[in-house]
Amino acid sequence: MSAILSVDRLTKTYASGFTALDGVSLDIREGEILALLGPNGAGKTTLISTICGITQATSGRVSVGGHDTITAYRAARELVGLVPQEINLEPFEKVINTVRFSRGLFGRPRDDAFLEKILKQLSLWDKRDQPIRSLSGGMKRRVLIAKALSHEPRVLFLDEPSAGVDVELRRDMWAVVRQLQQDGVTIILTTHYIEEAEAMADRIAVINGGRILLVEDKDALMRRMGRKEMRIDLREPIAHVPGALADFGLTLEQGGARLVYAYDRQATRTGIVRLLTALSEAGITVADVETRQSSLEEIFVGLVREGESA
């Protein structure tokens, strides 16, 4: 897949001297969902703002669909939709009018049928004639998405789309985002909910201190960095791990009723068979066995810590 958005050595130093972006280079492939993860103040929003023209870059360049965002800003910006983190909306205006305004602002001719489609997709159609201040927080966030989609962008930035949104709405939003991807829209998502990245993203980028620490396919990342864990529920609780099992590095949980064994799935010998044999030799009866993979969240926390200590 070709890159629809290309960020090349982007640097942003604010007037205060704070460097929010420190030579960021990143290629976004057409049609993918890229999750941009990073702790607060990592540079996520600055990166998005600089790509979209809200913040001026100190150096470096960005192109969207091959158009430079400075020298060919019209062609570049027409392709981009932005859903900001803060709920920034004109409170007194009707839903339909603000969405219509956004479409016009981006130079698109009026198309009420298209706006109707978007508003229906986002369950906003019934609210179209209501003033925005009468909507709930989740609904306002949908209005932001509707505005960003109103001019049919090829690239959509979602900056913390599910902040302050309840679980049900969040799942609805994920469905909308997947539908957009099927329609061919490229999506860049920043989020604190790692669950969200795990559920949606094709690739993960981790940013911290204004630097990209890693960009990788999500599945590959999970495979590469994911530790697996085997939980062994015992029929009879034990007080301590028998000496014969000391080599396995087991931990005892749930008052001695569960043994937890961490292993690397990529290793040639996982040690599972050996452990189970040793257990039966030690006279411990196994009631149940469950394996689970470490979540992206654990991977992420590990990465950021590693980056900070380096």
Partner 1 sequence: MNLTAIVAIYRFEMARTFRTLAQSVISPVLSTSLYFIVFGTAIGSRIDQVEGVAYGAFIVPGLIMLTVLTQSISNASFGIYFPKFIGTIYELLSAPASFLEITAGYVLAAATKALAIGLIILGTAFFFVDLTIAHPVWMLTILVLTCLSFSLFGFIIGIWAQNFEQLQLIPLLAVTPLVFLGGAFYSITMLPPVWQTVSLFNPVVYLVSGFRWSFFGMADVAVGWSILAIFGFLLACLAAIAWIFRTGWRLRA
> Does 54 participate in binding partner 1 (rule CB under 8 A)?
yes
Q: Per CB under 8 A, which region of 52-60, 182-190, 220-228, 247-255 contacts partner 1?
A: 52-60
Give the per-residue contact string, 130-159, with partner 1 (x = CB under 8 A; - = no): -----------------x------------
Tell me the site size for partner 1, rule CB under 8 A. Answer: 36
> Does 52 participate in binding partner 1 (rule CB under 8 A)?
yes
CA proximity to 41, closest of 56, 19, 8: 19
Q: What gap in Å lies between CA 251 and CA 255, rounded to an integer? A: 11
CB 216 within 8 A of CB 203: yes
CB 96 within 8 A of CB 119: yes
Residues 6+ positions from 61 with CB-CB distance below 8 Å: 8, 9, 10, 68, 69, 70
Kindly state the helix (H) or strand (E) to which residue 241 belongs, with its residue range. Answer: none
Question: Cβ of residue 161: shortest distance to partner 1, in angstroms?
Answer: 15
Q: Per CB under 8 A, which region of 98-106, 229-237, 238-246, 266-274 contacts partner 1?
A: 98-106
* 27 three-class SS: strand
Task: Please pick, from the candidates 5, 28, 42, 80, the single residue that binds partner 1 as defined by CB under 8 A.
Answer: 80
Q: Per CB under 8 A, which region of 53-61, 210-218, 243-251, 276-284 contacts partner 1?
A: 53-61
Helix%, strand%, coil% for the chain, nearest 5: 40, 30, 35
Task: Please pick, from the candidates 3, 75, 260, 278, the single residue that binds partner 1 as defined by CB under 8 A.
Answer: 75
Question: Where do contacts with partner 1 occur on this chain (CB under 8 A)?
Answer: 14, 49, 52-56, 73-78, 80, 82, 84, 86, 88-93, 97-98, 100-109, 147
